[in-house]
Structure 1
Amino acid sequence: MKRFLTFALAAALLTSCSDNDDNQIVTPVTPGDLAITLDTRVGSEDFALNKDFAIGGQTLNFNKFRYWVSNVVLVDTKGSEYVVPQSYYLMEEVGDLDLSGTINDKMTYPANKRETITLKDIPAGEYKTIKFSIGVDSKYNDNLSLKAGELTIANGMSNIAWMWHSSYLFTSVGGTVKKGADSKAFTAETGLNANYKSLSIDLPAPVNSSTSKGVVLNLDVTKVLDGIDVMANPAINAMTAPLMSTISTNYATKAIVFGSEAK
Structure 2
Amino acid sequence: MKNILKYNFAFVALALFLTSCNSDDAVITNVSGTGNLVLEFDQSYGDNDLILSQANATSQGETLKISTIKYIVSNIVLTKADGTIFTYPKNQSYFIVDESKPSSHVIDLTDIPSGDYVKVKFGIGVDQQQFNLGADGQGNFLAEAQAADLLWSWSAGYKFLAFEGTFTSPIVTSDTSFMVHTGQTGTDYNYTEVTLDLPTKALVRPTITPDVHLIADVSKIIDGTNKIKLTDYNGMGMGAMIMSGAALPLVTANLNGMFHVDHVHND
Which range, TM-score by smaller chain? 0.7 to 0.9
> TM-score of the superposition, structure 1-length normalised?
0.75
Three-state SS of the structure 1 residue aligned to 2:230 is coil
Q: Distance in 1 between matches of 2:98 and 2:265?
A: 20
Q: Distance in 2 between matches of 1:144 and 1:64?
A: 26
2:57 matched residue in structure 1: 54
1:100 matched residue in structure 2: none
Alignment of 1:237 onto 2:243: yes
Q: Output the aligned Cα RMSD.
A: 2.1
Equivalent of 1:209 in 196, 204, 218 = 204
Kept in 2, the 8 Å contact 1:88–1:148? The answer is no
Q: Which runs of 5+ in 2 are unaligned?
A: 1-25, 234-239
Alignment of 1:187 onto 2:179: yes
Q: Distance in 2 between matches of 1:129 and 1:200?
A: 7
Alignment of 1:157 onto 2:150: yes
Equivalent of 1:74 in 71, 78, 94 = 78
Q: Which has the higher helix share?
A: 2
Alpha-carbon distance, 1:28 to partner: 7.6
**For each residue in 1:214-258, what CA deviation from the matched residue of structure 2 results, as whole angstroms up to 9, or x when unmatched?**
2111111111212111232210002xx221111111112x11112
Kept in 1, the 8 Å contact 2:196–2:260? The answer is yes
2:88 matched residue in structure 1: 84
Q: Which runs of 5+ in 1 are unaligned?
A: 1-23, 95-111
Q: What residue identity is the alignment partner of 1:225?
A: I
Three-state SS of the structure 2 residue aligned to 1:232 is helix
Q: What residue identity is the alignment partner of 1:43?
A: G
Of stretches 137-146 and 119-128 in structure 1, the one that deviates more from structure 2 is 137-146
> TM-score of the superposition, structure 2-length normalised?
0.74
Alignment of 1:122 onto 2:119: no
Q: What residue identity is the alignment partner of 2:177?
A: A
Q: What residue identity is the alignment partner of 2:138?
A: K
**Seq. identity, %:** 27
**For each residue in 1:106-162, what CA deviation from the matched residue of structure 2 results, as whole angstroms up to 9, or x when unmatched?**
xxxxxx23222111121110011101111101133342332247343332111139x
Of stretches 60-69 and 179-188 in structure 1, the one that deviates more from structure 2 is 179-188
Equivalent of 1:221 in 197, 204, 218 = 218
Q: Distance in 2 between matches of 1:172 and 1:128?
A: 30
Q: What residue identity is the alignment partner of 1:63?
A: S
Q: Distance in 2 between matches of 1:158 and 1:144?
A: 12
Three-state SS of the structure 2 residue aligned to 1:48 is coil
* Pair 68,205 (structure 1): closer, same or farther in 2 beyond 3 Å: same
Alignment of 1:145 onto 2:160: no
Q: Distance in 2 between matches of 1:117 and 1:172?
A: 19
* Pair 148,262 (structure 1): closer, same or farther in 2 beyond 3 Å: farther
**For each residue in 1:14-50, what CA deviation from the matched residue of structure 2 results, as whole angstroms up to 9, or x when unmatched?**
xxxxxxxxxx9xx883422111112111011111212
Q: Distance in 2 between matches of 1:250 and 1:262?
A: 28
Q: Distance in 2 between matches of 1:168 and 1:221?
A: 20
Q: What residue identity is the alignment partner of 1:229?
A: K
Three-state SS of the structure 1 residue aligned to 2:78 is strand
Aligned length: 215
1:93 matched residue in structure 2: 99
2:254 matched residue in structure 1: 250
